[in-house]
Amino acid sequence: MDPFSAGQQDEEDSAIDLTPMLDVVFIMLIFFIVTASFIKEAGIDISRPQAETTEKQDRASIFIALSPSGEIWIDRRKVAPAQLKPTIEKLKAENPQGSVVIQADRESRSQQLMETLDAVRDAGITEVAISAEPF
């Protein structure tokens, strides 16, 4: 073996092979891109009513929270009842496939729930669910 090739061999060994790490990083990147759904959270925490027959709402992207005091929250902002429909329409334009989940507090009033349901329907979204916690 001549001294030249021996030196080259050493150099190749000292450089770490990045290919497996790159593979892992790319796979993670693709996973996170695919699972990213850009959910619009309501912004307030409410105490959900409990129910036995809840279904997982996987396609939900718009969350509307109704507080016990009668406030409506969408996308981390308080929304006036008159602004409900345009706000939902705007969010629907961003994610046309998403459905709506109304996170109504245990103690919120039916009137508000109905107004919100009407607004969601007027905005053209037919898939609506009322949030409930499984037992």
Partner 1 sequence: MKLLTQIRQQEEDSAIDLTPMLDVVFIMLIFFIVTASFLKEAGLTANKPDVQQAPPTEEAPSIVLRIASEGQVYLGPRRIDIRSVRPNIERLRAETPGAPVVVRAEDGARNHLIVDVMDAARQAGVMDVSLARAD
Contact residues for partner 1 (CB under 8 A)? 4, 18, 22, 25-26, 28-29, 32-33, 35-39, 41, 49-57, 60, 63, 66, 101-102, 104-111, 113-114, 117-118, 121, 127-134
Work out the burial of residue 65: count CB atoms within 10 Å of its CB; fewer than 13 is exposed, 13-18 middle, 19 or more buried: buried
The residue to which tokens 């981390």 are assigned = 76
Shortest distance (Å) from residue 102 CB to partner 1: 8
Reading the block at residue 67, the tokens are 């507080």
Shortest distance (Å) from residue 66 CB to partner 1: 7
Shortest distance (Å) from residue 43 CB to partner 1: 13
Q: Which amino acid is at 127?
A: E
